[in-house]
């Protein structure tokens, strides 16, 4: 899959294509419907399918300080888009200048002059251009003028719930990772680099990988979770952990109130390994919420709870893997 950073990467001899546009944070099941329509149209025309996303999130540029919690990194977004059949992943830097373009200018300068779009596939609630003045009706009008077709895909959901990035963020924030999984089509992932913590887990017999996520990452509510743990990227075996393979993990999110902690952390106890993971880029895929964060009166009480967390983690992950 080709990856472009802005329109400068578009080849001079680029032909026609089908373009789907959106932030695509999460690449959830609703996005999969949209991408599926775009790839189908592209295959029928015999042209590439291009996914256009934006960085940073448009909200941050339009209203500074309002960047929503991020469900996926750009790299993860590209990987998921490729799995769904996208041929080109185009990241448009979202700048004040781009935000100020009129709908007509965006359609002409971006979709026609640079991308040579034959079809544009968007969600039914799509808006674009200065002050979000453009909508599907406006895009259709401009398509008739400039020579591209427009397909609007209805919002997707189940059980009277529309799947959207906003809905999934609310699930994650509430610790309801099961509902987030249903909407995403896979567990919610938090990536990060393993950094050194206070070493207390190792002293207690439960050495943890302290995962430092990137800025704006959507972190589940405080509590203990059953999760899959993966060291990302290729490379040699890291201790007893093979990069790319997933491992069972009991994950604590919170401030460690038993020890009067103040810093909110994501700490993964990777089962059945004592590998040194410091400095590794890892992923934590949250499968199920086990219990809320608690303050224990004694170390023995904490150790008893942690042993129970591990037992429940094994049972939950065994069931989810069937």
Instruction: Determine, yes or no, domain membership for 2.
Output: yes
Instruction: Determine, yes or no, domain membership for 160.
Output: no
Number of separate domains in the chain: 2
- Shared-domain flag, residues 86 and 24: yes
- Rounded CA-CA distance 265/217 in Å is 12
- Shared-domain flag, residues 202 and 311: yes
Instruction: Determine, yes or no, domain membership for 312.
Output: yes
- Shared-domain flag, residues 42 and 113: yes
- Shared-domain flag, residues 136 and 13: yes
Segment 173-187 mean pLDDT: 98
Task: Dump the DSSP string for 213-279.
Answer: PPTTB-PPPSEEEEEEEEE-SS-S-BTTB-TT-EEEEEEEEE--GGGT--S-EEEEEETT-----TT
DSSP code of residue 196: -
Segment 220-242 mean pLDDT: 89
Instruction: Determine, yes or no, domain membership for 39.
Output: yes
Number of neighbouring beta carbons within 10 Å of residue 161:
12
- Shared-domain flag, residues 296 and 205: yes
For 5-47, the pLDDT digits (tens) are: 999 999 999 999 999 999 999 999 999 999 999 999 999 999 9
In terms of residue numbers, what domain contains 259?
187-319
Instruction: Determine, yes or no, domain membership for 161.
Output: no
What does DSSP say about strands 281-291 and 88-93: parallel, antiparallel, or unpaired?
unpaired
Q: Select from 161, 162, 182 the least CA-distant residue to 172.
A: 182
Residue 322: is its pLDDT beyond 70?
Answer: no
For 268-299, the pLDDT digits (tens) are: 999 998 888 999 999 999 999 999 998 888 88
- Rounded CA-CA distance 129/131 in Å is 6
Which CATH number goes with the domain that contains 3? 3.40.50.620
- Shared-domain flag, residues 215 and 307: yes
Collapse the DSSP code of 32 into the 3-class scheme (helix H, G, I; strand E, B; otherwise coil) and give the result.
helix
Q: How confident is the model at residue 237 (pLDDT cuts 50, 70, 90)?
A: confident
- Shared-domain flag, residues 133 and 194: no
For residue 22, what are the contacts with CB-CB under 8 A and spacing of at least 6?
A: 31, 34, 52, 53, 122, 123, 126
Angle made by CA atoms 12, 17, 19, in degrees to the nearest 5: 115
Which CATH number goes with the domain that contains 210? 2.40.30.30
Last residue of a domain, one of 151, 172, 198: 151
- Shared-domain flag, residues 89 and 234: no
- Rounded CA-CA distance 172/107 in Å is 35
Average model confidence (pLDDT) across the chain? 93
């Amino acid at each position: 899959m080709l990856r472009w950073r802005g329109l400068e990467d578009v080849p001079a001899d680029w032909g026609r294509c089908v373009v789907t546009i959106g932030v695509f944070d999460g690449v959830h099941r609703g996005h999969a419907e949209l991408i599926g329509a775009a790839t189908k149209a592209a295959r029928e025309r015999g042209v590439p399918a291009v996914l256009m996303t934006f960085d940073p999130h448009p909200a941050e540029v339009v209203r500074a300080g309002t960047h929503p919690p991020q469900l996926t990194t750009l790299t993860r977004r590209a990987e998921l888009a490729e799995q769904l059949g996208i041929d080109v992943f185009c990241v448009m830097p979202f700048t004040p200048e781009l935000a100020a373009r009129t709908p007509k200018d965006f359609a002409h300068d971006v979709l026609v002059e640079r991308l040579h779009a034959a079809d544009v596939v968007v969600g039914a609630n799509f808006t674009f251009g200065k002050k979000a003045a453009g909508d599907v009706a406006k895009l259709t009008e401009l398509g008739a003028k400039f020579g591209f077709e427009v397909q609007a895909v209805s919002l997707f959901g189940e059980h009277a719930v529309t799947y959207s990035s906003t809905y999934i963020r609310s699930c994650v924030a509430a610790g309801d990772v099961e509902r987030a999984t249903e909407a995403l089509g896979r567990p919610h992932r938090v990536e990060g680099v393993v950094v050194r913590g206070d070493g207390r887990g190792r002293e207690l017999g439960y050495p943890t990988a302290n995962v430092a996520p990137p800025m704006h990452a959507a972190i589940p509510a405080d509590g203990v979770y059953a999760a899959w743990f993966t060291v990302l990227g290729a490379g040699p075996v890291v201790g007893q952990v093979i990069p790319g393979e997933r491992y069972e993990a009991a994950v604590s999110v919170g401030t460690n109130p038993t020890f009067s902690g103040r810093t909110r952390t994501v700490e993964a106890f990777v089962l059945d390994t004592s590998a040194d993971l410091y400095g590794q880029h890892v992923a934590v895929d949250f499968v199920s919420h086990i219990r809320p964060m608690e303050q224990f009166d004694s170390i023995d009480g904490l150790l008893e709870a942690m042993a129970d967390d591990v037992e429940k983690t094994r049972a939950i992950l065994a069931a989810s893997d069937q």
